[in-house]
Amino acid sequence: MTTLIFKGAHAYTEQGVIPDPLFRLEKGVIAELRPAQKEDEGERIDAEELRIVPGFIDIHIHGAAGADVMDCTEEALDTIARALPAEGTTSFLATTLTQSIADTKQALAAAAAFQPDGEGAELLGVHLEGPFIHAARKGAQPEAFIVPPSIKLFEEFQEAAGGTIRLVTMAPELDEEGLTEVLVGHGVIVSMGHTDATCSQTAEALARGVSHATHFYNGMRGFHHRDPGVVGGVLMNGSVRAELIADGVHVSPEACAFTYQQLGAERLLLITDAMRAKGKEDGTYQLGGQEVTVRGNEAVLEDGTLAGSVLRMHEAVRNMSEFSGASFEEAVQMASLQPAKALGVSDRKGSLATGKDADFTMLDPNGDVAKTYIKGVCVYNGGEDK
């Protein structure tokens, strides 16, 4: 049993804010969380003005720190996992890119074999983005490897992944075999993304079990007064969740505010959709065999197409609050509790509560990450020794 007392900090829980919080930890789980008393014994940590929030969960990330999931190695996944705590992310879904079947299986096998050592973010599974997408909305996905939705091929992918595929981005209007229903039946989240569906096709897809929209507004048919498209179909539905890249580039500040007003914090999931250049200097990088130029907070292909982002999750949280008027607590929930609920892991992640994993990040008054703990262990300490 370990006891940590954070003097001067405030812990944000679903029940309210706890000043000078005491965390009693057992085997990486929160056994007790309450305000500290003078007589309490434990390790006292100076945390003046720091806000302790649940560790962030990034369900859509391709790479970071020079590594990419499609490098198809455990070493690449380790690099990504170790980089994420610096932005407050404590768990993630390794996200693939539309590539050859052989390369995709190799990437999935690497994810299945990956064994984290506790120094990086926890891998919760795989987000399969493509190859079952619409060429007209491919974005930065290589068109040469796009194929129609296939139950057989998905089963091959899931076998290679050791059953770890948790979310599939696809164009449901192309699903003639019934892959949507198969995925839903196996507890896999089906997300509309890189889709050219009309509003009526969107409604049909949602009725079949689609429950999620990938990087909302991007890679999908937008709103038009003669056909509200995927965007209108999602906005009119009362339950579908939507990913949002709150970097001010993929989605403007005004659109972030509008989306928050329409969907509320409970239906929005902040993601980074980051590629390997995240955390690196401006320059030229590779994404699925394509050259990507990174300048500032933009990553684009040669033709100007956006190619993922270099957004960090704590920046997304800060931006969302500033852009939309959402409260700090709501913005944090979009990056923690809501992804946990979507993945079905909110019994152990997504909020600060007894019985849940001791995954939390500490933000300074500017919203920057001061420390990050994973299962009760400090894995990031502002660049200083832990």
Would you name the residues annotated as active-site residues? 273
Q: Scanning the structure block, which residue is given the tokens 């997408």?
A: 133
- Are 22 and 35 in contact by the 8 Å Cβ rule? The answer is yes
Nearest to 375 by CA among 143, 51, 29: 29
Rounded to whole angstroms, the Cα distance separating 23 from 184 reads 38
Strand order across the beta sheet in which 29-35 lies: 29-35, 21-26, 2-7, 43-46
Structure token pair of residue 75? 């070493």
Rounded to whole angstroms, the Cα distance separating 293 from 97 reads 18
HSE of 190, CA atoms in CB hemisphere, 13 A? 27
315 Cα distance to chain centroid: 13
Rounded to 5, what percent of the chain is helix, strand, coil?
30, 30, 40
Rounded to whole angstroms, the Cα distance separating 371 from 364 reads 9
Rounded to whole angstroms, the Cα distance separating 143 from 133 reads 9
Structure token pair of residue 71? 């490098």
DSSP secondary structure string, 142-166? -GGG-----HHHHHHHHHHTTT-EE
3-state secondary structure of 257: helix
**Which helix H or strand E contains 374, and what residues bound it?**
strand 369-374
